[in-house]
Amino acid sequence: MSSVETIHVDGVWRAAAAGTQREVLDPADAKTLAVVSEGGADDTDAAVAAARRAFDTGTWPHTPVAERAALLREVAGLLQRDREAIALTESRDTGKTLEEGRIDVDCVSDAFRYFADLVVNEGGGRVVDAGSADIHSVVVHEPVGVCALITPWNYPLLQASWKIAPALAAGNTFVIKPSEVTPLSTVHLIRLLAEAGLPAGVANLVTGAGDPVGARLAEHPDVDLVSFTGGLTSGTKVMQAAAPSVKKVALELGGKNPNVVFADACATDEDFDTAVDQALNAAFIHSGQVCSAGSRLIVEESVRERFVAELARRAEKIKLGRGTEDGVECGPLVSAQQLDKTEYYVDSALAEGAVLRCGGKQPEPNAVRPANGYFYSPTVLDRCDATMRVVREETFGPILTVETFRTEDEAVALANDTEYGLAGAVWTKDAGRARRVAGRLRHGTVWINDYHPYLPQAEWGGFGKSGIGRELGPAGLAEYREAKHIYQNLAPRPVRWFAG
């Protein structure tokens, strides 16, 4: 496969029909990392047609569950075989550290294994008691059909796996459109699916921009489901485009996530150190380019000054640089656009009265930080409130805002004062308070005395404008299925409703 043949349709790698290409940039130095095909509507239609044929007349939807599960496990093994190469690709494409790239590959492998185990251990349907021995009634689940999978730039391989693994486990075919900014690891994954023996036409890939590729997938009448992960504005457009064909829609649209710290979580030096360390991780992993990032620190007033001072001191020491360099703890932002967005939000926060405790600028270039890279220093903004745009809107950058509270009710009110509802955390030594607050938070994932871990067995998704539907867990598989009730009369006889 040449560097520009990154469109995969019906088992064949090809260039874009129009011959168009796009440069993929390394965010650490803004140099060209790769050249990929820039697909359009014609490529998208061809990919959907291939997926439609593979579903309607192909073997995959009818392949025994055990065989589908075996293929998923084979893919997990191939991912581990190529772990270093994929991690390097992910690091250079997204800017994250090489170790983060390795962790991503491991998590992707876990997702494929989880959905393989889930489907192979299921029963043959749910028997429904119809109240008569003459009736056999069962609810079964079947694949939904052709799936359009649209993934974001921050975790391209991970987000692809959260969609591809359950889609395949359920027996669907699909077309995937990765972000045009970070498509390279998804290209590698599609190659591994083919190597594992997935039939031609089941997995199709179109690299290209959201408009026209994503827009065409969302509106396409031959697509039965669209699963989108990305920003709220784009997600709204996907939902609107999908509405006329009444296809299934699953949306994960990010969040503005609170990390609530009570004073008793800082009672000892060890407790304090842990809470500060986790607040750093919550906000600045992958330069804050995480949908569940704990970008809103909501800390009890009595410990605010000590907590924020130490947080800022440590944030200033975070080692920024190219993610493949030894000792680097945090890489660049993914693009010039994201860098501009970060600068905008910091400037607007300061204009609205926030107090800068650290960061707020691009760092000086050095041996591991090229001058043209999209680097921005981890930034802590104190004295923030919910009227500020930086508090209300998803910044997707290394920005941590600080709000304070005095009572438990006030903490909960602040944490829930967002149109999003993806994730949040509460830090306290009081077990009763932990359960109360976790129960009152309107967020799809709530961590107690921790931040960021997820399990493939547990559903992931949000309340409010964080989206609809769930990924991972049994519900993540259910998104890619239709329920069918089969009612069989074993002793049919005339009803005699009509006398004649």
* Active site amino acids: 252, 291
Q: How many CA atoms lie within 13 A of 129 on its CB side?
A: 1
In a 3-state reduction of DSSP, which class is residue 37?
strand
**SS3 (DSSP) at 387:** coil
- Rounded CA-CA distance 233/341 in Å is 15
Work out the number of other CB atoms within 10 angstroms of the CB of residue 294: 28
Q: Which token pair is 10? A: 């019906």
Here the tokens at position 355 are 């107090």
Cα–Cα dist 160/204, whole Å: 13
Q: Which amino acid appears at position 245 of this protein?
A: S
C-alpha 120 chain-centroid distance: 25
What's the N-to-C CA distance of the chain in angstroms?
71
Q: How far apart are CA 88 and CA 96, in angstroms?
A: 10
Q: Are 451 and 425 in contact (CB under 8 A)?
A: yes
Cα dist from 418 to 302, 386, 415, 424, 442, whole Å: 24, 8, 7, 11, 9
Cβ distance 261 to 275 under 8 Å? yes
Q: Tell me the C-alpha distance between 18 and 38, whole Å.
A: 8
The contacts of residue 469 (CB under 8 Å, 6+ apart) are 227, 249, 250, 251, 252, 461, 475, 479
Give the number of other CB atoms < 10 A from CB of residue 436: 15
Cα–Cα distance for residue pair 336/344, rounded to 1 Å: 12
**Greatest C-alpha distance within the chain:** 93
Residue 212 has what DSSP assignment? Answer: I
Query: What is the rounded CA–CA span in Å between residue 448 and residue 286?
Result: 22
Token readout for 484 is 């069918």
Q: Tokens at residue 253, please?
A: 């649209």
Query: Which helix (H) or strand (E) is 399 found in, with range?
Result: strand 399-405
> Which of 28, 63, 10, 106 lies closest to 334 in space, CA to CA?
28
Whole-angstrom CA distances from 398 to 91, 244, 323 are 17, 39, 15
Evaluate whether 385 touches 403 at the Cβ level (below 8 Å).
yes
